[in-house]
């Protein structure tokens, strides 16, 4: 019962859901687009691009978080670059502003996980029979239409799989927020996992309550996975 | 090497390792953070103690403060005591949390140690009822560190910095920003250093004597939040996030002042080129009846664990060094900037030393004077929770919501947090 009144829990839940709703679709679409580009037979140096985009996935979560933290400092690389291009007039307080901190976290996880999903799509695309595309080309279907009406429907099971794993991954989001913003500023990037950590190890220890919060994650993961199965079936 | 020789060496080495095992039973382990400060102090104490106790040995495990707290939480909560250290360092804000959440885990020491020799505010933090736990170590007495070069460019002398209230501080900040382009101070929404310093200088904390919440009617907290809003409105702050960007900002000369505990000296002095440019003044005063120009931020103390097999040895060691050795404190002060809360140590020669880094100012004498003026407050068990709840409302404060509403909301929210 304490759970439903606890404002900090509500904040954590809301933040986690925000990350989920914004980040997962962006990442899925981005990795779909990238993988279909990489799948194009006309592309040169394919190996190199594939490696470059997949490489973030092998970096350690903590190491890249700390790197991102320094890049997004007030006088970090990102601000200097944007100032240099005259896109902004004064440095953005990426990590000190509640809104921009959320954006930073989303950029970070997107960078880290897009390549991972891309590999799934790529391997699935290579399994699609080339004759399907050939037939479409002869019928005069534009590449964009080919993508939406051939590639995407045929990839449906893989898209379902990646969106479920990404959903679960986002629900468990911890390393990035712990290291980049530590839940701040003003709890604007506090996630459920980080809240569980705080409850167990930095507040007066309350393992029972922390366990209760962790069950919420389990419940959410299950419900969201079911929902995605339903949506995918209806189509 | 013949077989016989081999056997002899084997036997010899076995007996040697057995002997070292026997000695190892006397060996104490300590958990502490900050190799240049706490760890160094503990090693210094150990080497001094060894001169009179030849069989004494001690190892300090150096890890981060958060890591130590987390390890301690996990082990005390699980009840597994065999990998706990004999002595552990705990920050004052968290002392009551550990002492109350795990009763009987720490050894009371009032029978051995004479606590009247320590600063009273420090002893209060580590007492429950009549029992006093641990040995008070460093003080977190606060000061206003400022760059005299920036301030003189803006037209202010050292004399002007001595007796400020926060409004005057903000006025100076505006002048500094206008004339030098440098921000007056850093600000981090999640940071607790400045609010803690301000509130304690007003003589109040988040909790009353009996441990109940003191938020909605807390005048010092209200004035603190109002001041923070004024500082932000004046646009004299450089936003930072986290410890490293905070230290980075003043190390790179991007801000003109740092208001912090005395332990920040170590970080300030790490930039050689800024030698002679820094000065220290008393912190500005809150606009409140009875507010002092002295406060505290951080500071920590040594605790002995009850489960330790070498409990008596650990207590005797701490008592002989940190509660008696004034000479050691002089050395720690000069080398590490560790300001003790052991009162007899504050009259030593090291305190009268002029600090070249601070333009010859006798900084430690000043700090020692301010230690005596720090208002005593009850840190209670839940400081971290309250900090978090207040940080969550800071954006609303900066947008201009009335402070009274915010504090009422915080107090209400906390009722569900602290159970």
Strands of the sheet containing B257-261, edge to edge, are: B257-261, B142-147, B278-281
Cα angle B200, B70, B303; round to 5: 65
Which of B266-275's residues contact partners 24+ apart within 8 Å by CB, and which partners?
Answer: B266/B36, B266/B37, B266/B336, B266/B337, B268/B145, B268/B357, B269/B337, B269/B357, B274/B147, B275/B356, B275/B357
Radius of gyration of chain B (CA): 24
Residues A39/A41/A42/A45 CA torsion (nearest 10 deg):
70
Q: Which phi and psi (to 5°) does residue B301 adopt?
A: -145, 160
Q: Above 70 in pLDDT, residue B13?
A: no
Confidence category of residue B343, pLDDT binned at 50, 70, 90: confident
Radius of gyration of chain A (CA): 21
Average pLDDT of the residues in B9-27: 49
At residue A234, the pLDDT reads 61
Q: Above 60 in pLDDT, residue B103?
A: yes
Residues B301 and B122: beta-carbon distance below 8 Å? yes
Distance (Å, whole) CA A36 – CA A34:
5
Q: Which residues are bridge partners to B280 per DSSP?
A: B145
Q: Which secondary-structure segment (H or E) carries B303? A: strand B300-304
pTM: 0.79
Which of B157-161's residues contact partners 24+ apart within 8 Å by CB, and which partners?
Answer: B158/B279, B158/B281, B161/B279, B161/B281
Q: Above 80 in pLDDT, residue B336?
A: no
At residue B16, the pLDDT reads 45
- Of B202, B144, B206, B138, give the one whose Cα is nearest residue B170: B144
Q: Above 90 in pLDDT, residue B183?
A: yes
Q: B208: how many CB neighbours lie within 10 A of its CB?
A: 14
Residue B180: is it exposed, middle or buried by C-beta count within 10 angstroms (0-12/13-18/19+)?
A: middle
**Nearest CB neighbour to A186, from listed B189, B384, B417:** B189
Q: How close B324 gets to chain A, by Cα (Å)?
A: 33
Residues B192/B196/B198/B201 CA torsion (nearest 10 deg):
-170
ipTM over 0.90? The verdict is no
Q: Where are the beta strands (DSSP E) in chain A?
A: none
Angstrom CA distances, B143 to A32, A48, B168, B203, B389, stand at 56, 56, 16, 16, 26
**Nearest CB neighbour to A185, from listed B74, B241, B381:** B241
Q: Above 60 in pLDDT, residue B49?
A: yes
Q: How many residues appear in chain A? A: 235
Average pLDDT of the residues in B345-369: 85
Angstrom CA distances, B78 to B32, B83, B100, stand at 21, 12, 16
Question: Would you say the C-alpha torsion B375, B378, B379, B383 has a positive or negative sign?
Answer: negative
At residue B9, the pLDDT reads 52
Q: Above 50 in pLDDT, residue B22?
A: no
At residue B85, the pLDDT reads 93
Low-confidence ranges of chain A (pLDDT < 70): 1, 234-235
Which residues, including other chains, have CB under 8 Å from residue B88's CB and lie 6 or more apart?
Answer: B30, B31, B32, B68, B72, B302, B303, B305
At residue A143, the pLDDT reads 84
Residues B96/B97/B100/B102 CA torsion (nearest 10 deg):
-130
At residue A206, the pLDDT reads 80
Angstrom CA distances, A100 to A72, A74, A82, stand at 10, 12, 15
Cβ separation of B101 and A204 shorter than 8 Å? yes
At residue B21, the pLDDT reads 42
Residues B307 and B84: beta-carbon distance below 8 Å? yes
DSSP reduced 3-state for B239: strand
Q: B83: how many CB neighbours lie within 10 A of its CB?
A: 8
Confidence category of residue B19, pLDDT binned at 50, 70, 90: very low
Please report the DSSP string for A98-111 in residue order. Answer: HHHHHHHHHHHHHH
Please report the DSSP string for B365-400 in residue order. Answer: HHHHHHHTTPPP----S-HHHHHHHHHHHHHHHHHT
Q: How close B197 gets to chain A, by Cα (Å)?
A: 19
Report chain B residues whose CB lies below 8 A from the CB of A6: 416-417
Q: Is A8 on the interface with B (CB under 8 A)?
A: yes
At residue B17, the pLDDT reads 46
Cβ separation of B419 and A73 shorter than 8 Å? no
If you average pLDDT over every residue of chain B, what do you get? 86
Q: B89: how many CB neighbours lie within 10 A of its CB?
A: 25
Report chain A residues whose CB lies below 8 A from the CB of B393: 186
Mean pLDDT check: name the lowest of A79-88, A115-124, B188-197, B335-344: B335-344
Report chain A residues whose CB lies below 8 A from the CB of B245: 73-74, 95
For residue A185, whether the previous peptide bond is cis, meaning omega lies within 30 degrees of 0, is yes
Q: A220: how many CB neighbours lie within 10 A of its CB?
A: 18
Query: Which of A5, A11, A12, A74 to probe by mutation at the B interface, max B CB count within 10 Å?
Result: A74
Distance (Å, whole) CA B52 – CA A147:
82
Q: Above 50 in pLDDT, residue B23?
A: no
At residue B4, the pLDDT reads 53
Residues B142 and B260: beta-carbon distance below 8 Å? yes
- Of A32, A47, A12, give the one whose Cα is nearest residue A154: A32
Average pLDDT of the residues in B276-294: 91
Between positions 23 and 82 of A, the ones with CB within 8 A of B are: 69, 73-74
Higher pLDDT, B387 or A205: B387
Q: Above 60 in pLDDT, residue B24?
A: no
Q: Kindly state the DSSP code that residue B283 receives in the 8-state scheme.
A: P
- DSSP-derived pairing of the beta strands B185-187 and B237-239: parallel
For residue A24, the Cα-to-chain-centroid distance in whole angstroms is: 5
Average pLDDT of the residues in B379-386: 85
Higher pLDDT, B389 or B10: B389
At residue A90, the pLDDT reads 81
């Amino acid at each position: 019962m304490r759970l439903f009144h606890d404002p900090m829990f509500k904040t954590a839940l809301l933040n986690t859901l925000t990350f989920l709703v914004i980040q997962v679709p962006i990442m899925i679409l981005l990795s779909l687009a990238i993988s279909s580009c990489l799948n194009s037979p006309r592309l040169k140096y394919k190996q190199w691009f594939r490696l470059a985009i997949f490489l973030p996935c092998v970096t350690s979560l903590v190491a890249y978080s700390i790197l991102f933290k320094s890049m997004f400092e007030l006088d970090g690389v990102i601000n200097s670059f944007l100032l240099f291009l005259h896109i902004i007039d004064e440095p953005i307080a990426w990590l000190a502003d509640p809104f921009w901190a959320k954006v930073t976290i989303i950029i970070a996880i997107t960078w880290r996980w897009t390549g991972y999903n891309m590999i799934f799509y790529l391997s699935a695309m290579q399994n699609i029979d080339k004759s399907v595309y050939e037939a479409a080309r002869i019928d005069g279907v534009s590449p964009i239409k080919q993508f939406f009406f051939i590639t995407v429907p045929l990839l449906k099971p893989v898209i379902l799989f990646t969106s479920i794993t990404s959903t679960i991954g986002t629900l468990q989001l911890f390393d990035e927020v712990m290291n980049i913003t530590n839940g701040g500023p003003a709890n604007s990037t506090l996630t459920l996992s980080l809240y569980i950590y705080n409850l167990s190890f930095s507040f007066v220890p309350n393992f029972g309550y922390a366990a209760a919060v962790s069950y919420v994650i389990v419940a959410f993961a299950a419900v969201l996975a079911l929902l995605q199965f339903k949506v995918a079936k209806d189509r | 090497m013949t077989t016989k020789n081999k056997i002899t060496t084997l036997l010899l080495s076995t007996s040697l390792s057995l002997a070292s095992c026997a000695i190892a039973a006397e060996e104490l382990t300590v958990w502490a953070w900050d190799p240049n400060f706490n760890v160094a102090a503990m090693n210094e104490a150990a080497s001094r103690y060894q001169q009179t106790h030849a069989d004494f040995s001690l190892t300090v495990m150096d890890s981060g403060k958060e890591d130590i707290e987390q390890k301690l939480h996990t082990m005390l909560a699980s009840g597994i005591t065999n990998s706990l250290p004999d002595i552990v360092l705990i920050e004052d804000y968290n002392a009551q949390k550990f002492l109350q959440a795990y009763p009987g885990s720490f050894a009371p020491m009032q029978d051995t140690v004479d606590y009247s020799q320590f600063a009273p505010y420090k002893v209060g933090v580590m007492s429950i009822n009549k029992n006093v736990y641990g040995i008070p170590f460093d003080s977190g007495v606060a000061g206003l560190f400022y760059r005299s070069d920036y301030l003189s460019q803006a037209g202010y002398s050292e004399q002007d910095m001595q007796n400020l209230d926060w409004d005057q501080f903000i006025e100076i900040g505006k002048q500094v920003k206008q004339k030098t382009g440098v921000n007056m101070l850093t600000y981090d929404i999640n940071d607790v250093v400045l609010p803690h310093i301000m509130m304690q200088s007003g003589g109040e904390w988040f909790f009353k004597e009996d441990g109940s919440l003191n938020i909605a009617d807390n005048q010092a907290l209200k004035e603190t939040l109002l001041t923070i809003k004024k500082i932000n409105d004046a646009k004299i702050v450089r936003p930072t996030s986290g410890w490293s960007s905070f230290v980075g900002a003043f190390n790179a000369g991007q801000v003109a002042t740092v208001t912090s505990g005395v332990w920040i000296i170590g970080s300030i002095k790490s930039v050689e080129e800024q030698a002679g440019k820094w000065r220290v003044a008393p912190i500005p005063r809150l606009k409140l009846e009875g507010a002092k120009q002295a406060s505290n931020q951080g500071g920590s103390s040594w605790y002995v664990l009850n489960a330790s097999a070498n409990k008596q040895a650990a207590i005797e060691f701490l008592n002989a060094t940190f509660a008696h050795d004034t000479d050691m404190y002089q050395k720690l002060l000069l080398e590490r900037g560790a300001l003790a809360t052991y009162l007899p140590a504050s009259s030593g020669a090291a305190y009268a030393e002029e600090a070249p880094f601070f333009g010859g100012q006798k900084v430690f004498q000043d700090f020692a004077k301010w230690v005596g003026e720090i208002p005593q407050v009850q840190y209670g068990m839940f400081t971290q929770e309250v900090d978090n709840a207040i940080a969550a409302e800071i954006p609303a404060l900066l947008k201009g919501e009335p402070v009274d509403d915010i504090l009422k909301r915080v107090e209400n929210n906390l009722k569900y947090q602290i159970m």
